[in-house]
Structure 1
């Protein structure tokens, strides 16, 4: 790859990374191309050297945001050698995660937008849901591992969404702590597979 191609790829990656953070914090409808390009240190006109359209950028930025979560989920599951599922729950339902939507789980911030979308964005969202379900299911060797994975993922995403949406910080923390505690109690009834 020539020097200019390397620079173009690096610039594109930088814009995508910035856009992925913005869609997680502001949503897909508020993403402005001129503002994004300015923040990236580029001109608005340079946008079309990297992306076919705003929708193209949003679909790719959402895919980046969603995919970043896979490695985080895997690391979280590996933190607790005795109970990988509990490790994942403890790492996910934290104040730190709640307070950092720009780098947090994109399933939380992009769910409503994906539900209204018909494009590649919705496909990327579904792929990430399926990926997380497989990961969580793999931590459980019970007969109903898939159903438990669906319940766990739904509770994780829902608790995080609500904890970010309420104004009372004590209530927000109660949501995170209570859901984490109950999910771990359910998991203790099954035999988790060590990651």
Structure 2
């Protein structure tokens, strides 16, 4: 049976979406192609009608997951007053809800260590998405020069992602909650201090 182009595109998108969840839950090597295809309601043999290789699926699945994160941050920014955007993004990221649902969360804490061991092609694709995340984060850091905002965004993301990893290691009890709270305070406090320093420099 021949399927329409639209049907193939819908099927392709469904595979990528399913794979992005399972990869974040189980890791880049925690689930095989056969299992991914089965979850998408397809046979293993149909895989190569959609992807040239497992690496191609992994790259698309990672990209899909990271795009969802940046879109979520943009939506938060659109719905929040400018001066509260950074805090709101940080609070939503370093939350028990995000900690406890890696399959639908940020791909970097879930898969970053594994990506560092993947091929140059995979790392390059991942790095491009990471840079896009940094740019979106920098957009939420107001009243400082763009170069400074970007540096703060890099530091903020590194702190946020590291905090989330540690909180997941700690489980979901009081210790884990303490880690999340400390991470939130570190990011927001650093941003406030940097903003104050810029204002002081301008005043002088």
Deviations 1:118-156 (A, max 9, x none): 243212221122112112222223243222111101001
Q: 1:56-67, aligned counterparts within 5 Å?
A: 56-67=56-67
Bigger-Rg structure (1/2): 2
Q: CA deviation at 1:23?
A: 1.0
Structure 2 Cα separation of the partners of residues 77 and 100 of structure 1:
22
1:168 to 1:65, Cα distance in 2 relative to 1, 3 A? closer
Whole-Å separation in 1 of the counterparts to 2:110 and 2:103: 9
Whole-angstrom distance in 2 between the partners of 1:168 and 1:14: 31
After the TM superposition, which residues 163-178 of structure 1 pair with which residues of structure 2 at under 5 Å, given as runs?
Answer: 163-167=167-171, 169-178=173-182
Partner residue in 2 for 1:154: 158
Q: Contact between 2:66 and 2:129, CA under 8 Å: does it hold in 1?
A: yes
Structure 2 gap segments, 5+ residues each: 197-204
Choose the corresponding residue for 1:184, options 181, 185, 188: 188
Higher helix share: 2
Name the structure 1 match of 2:49.
Answer: 49
Q: Does 1:142 align with 2:156?
A: no
CA distance in 2, matches of 1:139, 1:61: 26
Matched residue SS, 2:103? coil
How many residue pairs are counted as aligned between the two chains?
A: 191
Partner Cα distance (2:140, 2:105) in 1: 22
Q: Say if 2:24 and 2:103, in contact at 8 Å, map to a contact too.
A: yes
Give me the TM-score of the superposition, normalised by structure 2: 0.86
Unaligned runs of 5+ residues in structure 1 are: none
Quote the residue 2:94 is aligned against.
93
Following superposition, the deviation at residue 189 of structure 1 comes to: 2.6
Q: Is the 8 A contact 2:134 2:154 kept in 1?
A: yes
